Amino acid sequence: MKHSSGVIIVDKPKGVTSHDVVAACRGLLHTKKVGHAGTLDPMATGVLVIGFGAATRLLNSLVGASKTYETTIRLGATSTTDDADGDITRTPEADVTTITREDIERAIAEHLTGDILQVPSTYSAKKIHGQRAYDLARNGQDVQLDANPVTIEDFTVTDVRCVYESEGTYLDVDATVTCSAGTYIRALGRDLGELLHVGGYLTMLRRTRVGMFDADSQKTIHMTAQSYEFTQKDGEVVQRTKAQASKELKENEEKLAEKVILPADAARAVLPVRELTAQQAVDICFGRPLKTSVKTLTAALYRGQLMALVEPWKPNLAKPSTVFMTAEELARLATQTA
């Protein structure tokens, strides 16, 4: 493929991990240097931002972008994982039929909107003394996580309906949530259930947007989940699920190249931009500070190419935090665009 570095937006299917998507992208892009910006649980679908080549160094900046989700919260039961993949326990004596939409919206407005402190889900990737919380929880250990500050920009209820199951009645709440990085939507569902004294967990989660990257974009790659079996050395047959791109993208490099977002365009989508002079571009290549001021992490571009990410340093000076182009590459760029 003609692009050695860039960002692609994958619509992750249900039933695969974010790592499974990275593995599929390594095969699709024919490179091992692939990473993602922000994990999605196996149950979740939607936008997973993938970086490859030098653009993997952009991922830390993309992780911090705000995100939008569509979700369904089931009230009337709890889950060990705060979603449908865990062990579900119906809340004793919970009568969800008395809960109105107004009750739900009031609880959200008063406790789950704006700047809040949120305790992450027990089954999360948060680390405790170097170990993942979900690993400790799976081993039966008591997991105590500290509350983290997050911002819920919008939490809108779109539908409320009763669901009748053999074991009882539940209330399903459809909602859209726009929030800061680090927010656990599973924890929002759990906390809403606790506020209403009936318990709650997620039955559906879809990430529709990360920063300016949208699931409905024409550049989005929609992957599918494919089940397969293999036999282990002891003879046990094991079933696994992997992510898979379309046959067209696998076989047509031009079509695949059309899906790639170039590093400069990806940076523009989430960061302020500073255009460099020729001398500043040279200075950046050698790690020298720029005689300019920036208020926050900024993408430094020269002739349409991403040169570096720069950050505030001393008064009227900015220093490069990540450099994407060498002096040799800059010289070639100058020749090509002269």
Which residues does the annotation mark as catalytic? Answer: 41
DSSP string, 199-264: -EEEEEEEEEEETTEETTSTT-EE-EEEEEEEE-TTS-EEEEEEEE--HHHHH-HHHHHHHPBPHH
The CA-based angle 104-110-111, given to 5 degrees, is 90
> In whole angstroms, what is the distance from residue 251 CA to residue 235 CA?
35
Measured CA to CA, the distance from residue 183 to residue 219 in angstroms comes to 26
Helix (H) or strand (E) holding 13: none
Neighbour count for residue 20 (Cβ, 10 Å):
20
Q: What are phi and psi of 312, to 5 degrees?
A: -60, 145
d(CA 263, CA 51): 9
Tell me the C-alpha distance between 193 and 296, whole Å: 38
